Structure 1
Amino acid sequence: MNGLRLALGLLTLIPVPAPDGVDRDAARRAMLLAPLALLPISLAAALAGWGCLLLGLPGLVAGIVTVAVGLLATGALHADGLADTADGLGSRRDPQTSLAIMKRGDVGPMGAVALALVYLAQAAAVPVLLARPWGWLQVALLLAGARVALAVLTRRGQAPARPGGLGALVLGTVPVPSALVAVLVAWLITAATGWLTGHLIGAIVALPLALAAVLWLSRTARRRLGGLTGDVLGAGVELAATVMLIVASIAW
């Protein structure tokens, strides 16, 4: 419960009691429980989008509402990480300068473009999924399942690019076997949604392709920054969610 409270407190705006303590053991559990912590929010977002379709609103509106509910309920935490990561890596400067750009907090051109492309892609893919039988449930599970990227990014051997902050607290805390189990569970659940919606292949390959993109981002950040940061973790979550939604929406 301590790890779950930490996950809810870090990743959402859901009011929960403060954890008994914030240490690396609690951080490990929080990273592993991130998909569970985000499930209430992803369900609310998917049902809000589905409700828009039932009311006869355009599909893109339903997609925008789904994305907006998720952003509002998480305080746009991962959006901030996505923008900062795009600005830092897109600057093509030395590691210290890139990290300084990411820490400034303002949004540059690369960050603005990344935000626009990622959330437009999500908003466009969501209504395709919502229109299918049990599509609202698939959207919810895909959005929650994308948070397994946190367990992958914080597995043992991943070092922070700078001391302090969220990255230094959680990076390297998740044993590799635990990360693999988390990925397997997330894959089984998200793949099963393809059976419900009648589009099995897309659901099966969605998470593997998403994690491939996340590992590419991790490798790029380690090479360019010397390690990972909390911003890179947020960018990884949004990248995973985008790839999963797009792949699952394809009529395989």
Structure 2
Amino acid sequence: MKRPGMLQPDPAVFIRANLPISTVPSIPEICLHTAGPASGLWRLAGRGEADPPPYWAYPWAGGAVLARHLLDRPEMVTGRRVHDLGAGSGLVAIAAAKAGAATVTAIDIDANAIAAIGLNAAINGVNIVALAADIIEDQPPATDLLVVGDLFYDPSLALRVMAFLRRCQASGVEVLIGDPERAHLPQGELNRIATHSVADFGGSTGGGAVQAGVFALSGKVEGEIMPGGQAATA
């Protein structure tokens, strides 16, 4: 919770001063401003020291697996418009830009993440449009590919995200999801297309390697009644 009366530092200045630039584990092509034990992120967020760290300050497994996959398979993004939903540090957006995307838009609800994305894009020499917004109740964006990493950590958010992704798919937008199979990932509605070993700062491993997947939306919805009266489940 934000502490009343606290003077909020300028996010770009704070990130430059307190989050050193380091290579992303398993993705040596990309460097990010990444938090460490002495970064004091609670000062930037205006919250207490015991509060959980913000998502944008670390490369999480879902974003890392998508970034690795796009860099290994540049044909998936070359010449295409790409939107990164819940972009955090901008890792996936940066990978898409490096892989040859025509345009890349990174979207996050955290204004500090937007500042981090701008700084991280600059140190990697790519151009990214960073947008502070919650778009998952809106109409699908005008894009060719929507990439989504690490947005299935909360049950209510997972439901909202999947509804939005289904609307995007129906409008002709390709969707790719990166996730280390967290509890609320609806695997019965997804097709796994790749697996990579990546570090996960958001998991119990504390930055250790996990097997994370890249998923596409399937044609079925969990709980949907199929011909013959059977429910489509995982």
Query: How high is the TM-score relative to the length of structure 2?
Result: 0.22
- Which structure has more relative contact order (CA 8 Å, sep 6+)? It is 1
Higher strand proportion (structure 1 or 2) = 2
Higher helix proportion (structure 1 or 2) = 1
Query: How high is the TM-score relative to the length of structure 1?
Result: 0.21
